[in-house]
Amino acid sequence: MSSDARPIGVFDSGMGGLTVLSAMEARLPAERFFYLGDTARLPYGTKSAATVEAYALAATRLLIAEGVKMVVVACNTASAVALERLTRELAPVPVIGVIEPGARAGVAATRNNHIAVIATEGTVKGGAYVRAIHALSGDIDVVQQPCQVFVALAEEGWTDSEVTRTAAKRYLGPLFRGASAPDTLVLGCTHFPVLAAAIRGVIGTGVAMVDSAATTAAAVADALAAQGMGVAESGAHGAPTRGAPTSGARTRFLATDSPERFARVGEIFLGRPIAASDVELVDLRSLP
Ligand code: DGL
C-alpha cells in the first residue's frame, strides 16, 4: 500500500470550513491537515466573482507552498466561482470543492423532488447548486435563498440566539409554507451547520437538512484512494515531510487575522477545542 504523509490543505473564507474539516478528521483518521481561514477578507459571499477568485487563488497557493498533497475548497462561494480556475492553476495537485458533494447529499435526501438551497449571495447568484443538482437529476425543483447574514451570525458564535432565530424565520419561513414545500434543505454554505438548531426551529422536523461535510469527506477519501495518495491506515505517518504539521498536532491552523479569535470561535465549528498556539497568523498579500 502506498503512503503519502503530506497533509491535505483545506481552505475557507473563515471558520465555516472547519465543519468540513471535522468530517474529514473523523473519516480519515490517519491523515494530517492544514486549514487556512482567510478571516481578514471574510465575507466572500458579498464580493464579486473576480475578487473571490483572486482571494481563493492566493489562499490555495499558500497551501501549495506549504507542501499539501490535495486542496479541499471548503467554501461554497469559492467552489462556485473559482473551482475550474483553481483546478487548472494548482495542477497537478488535485482540488476538491464542496458544491457537487452538497448537491449529491440533497439529491439523495429528497423524496418529493423539491430542494431548497440556502447559501451566500455569491453562490446563489452563480447558480452552481442548481446546475450541480440538475446534473445529478434533471427533474428536481430547486429553490434558492441567499442568507448572507447567517455568515456574520455564525462567525460571531451566535448559533442559536434570538437574533439568529429571527433571521432564520425571515429567510426560511416563506420557503417552507404550503403542501408542495421542499422536503429537503441543503445548507450550501459551510458556515451554516452551526446554525442548525435555529434553522430546524423554523423548518420543522419533517424536512431533511443536509450539508456538504460528510459527502465531501467521502469524496476526498475516494480521491485519495483512486490516486494512491492516502496515508496507509496501518502504518505510522512516516518520515516528516516538508509541510507536515509540526509539534505533533494532527491539524495545523493558519488564519489571516486574529489567531486568538480563530481559536476561540473556531471550536464551535470544529466541535473540539483549538489551542491559540496552534493557529498561525499569515499574510496572503505578501505572496508573489
Ligand atoms: N463559508 C463560505 C461558504 O461556504 C462563505 C462565507 C462568506 O465568506 O461569505 O460559502
Q: What is the predicted pLDDT for the residue at 234?
A: 42
- Band (pLDDT 50/70/90 cuts) for residue 285 is confident
The helix/strand/coil state of 148 is coil
Pocket test for ligand 1, best of 155, 190, 195, 270 (most atoms within 8 A of CB): 190
Domains in the chain and their CATH numbers? 8-97+214-286 (3.40.50.1860), 100-212 (3.40.50.1860)
**pLDDT tens digit string along 34-73?**
999 999 999 999 999 999 999 999 999 999 999 999 999 9
Q: What is the mean pLDDT of residues 134-161?
A: 96
pLDDT over threshold 90, residue 257: yes
DSSP helix/strand/coil, 268 = helix
pLDDT-derived band at 3, boundaries 50, 70, 90:
confident
Q: Is 42 in the pocket of ligand 1 (CB under 6 A)?
A: yes
The number of residues making up the chain comes to 288
Q: How much is the mean pLDDT over the chain?
A: 93
pLDDT value at position 249?
72
Please list the helix, strand and coil fractions of the chain in percent, rounded to the nearest 5, in that order: 45, 15, 40
Residue 77's Cβ-count burial label (10 Å; 0-12, 13-18, 19+) is buried
Ligand 1 pocket residue status of 191, Cβ below 6 Å? yes
Cβ–ligand 1 distance for 75 under 6 Å, the answer: yes
Instruction: Answer yes or no: is pLDDT of 203 > 90.
Output: yes
Q: Is residue 120 in contact with ligand 1, taking CB distance under 6 Å?
A: yes
For residue 93, pLDDT beyond 60: yes
For position 227, what pLDDT does the model report? 94
pLDDT class for 2, splitting at 50, 70, 90? low
**3-state SS class at 179:** coil
- Provide the annotated active-site residues: 75, 189
Is residue 128 within 6 Å of ligand 1 at its C-beta? no
Q: What pLDDT is recorded for position 1?
A: 55
Name the band, by pLDDT with cuts 50, 70 and 90, for residue 230.
very high
Atom of ligand 1 nearest to the CA of 43: 8
What pLDDT is stored for residue 232 in this prediction?
A: 75
Measured CA to CA, the distance from residue 171 to residue 166 in angstroms comes to 9
pTM: 0.93
- Centre of ligand 1 from the C-alpha of residue 79, in Å: 10
Q: Does residue 261 register a pLDDT over 60?
A: yes
Most ligand 1 atoms within 8 A of CB, residue of 19, 55, 156, 189 to mutate: 189
**How confident is the model over 105-126, as a mean pLDDT?**
98
User: Contact at 8 Å (CB) between 123 and 188?
Assistant: yes
Cross-strand bridge partners of residue 37: 12, 255
What pLDDT digit, counting tens, does each position of 235-249 carry?
444 444 444 444 457
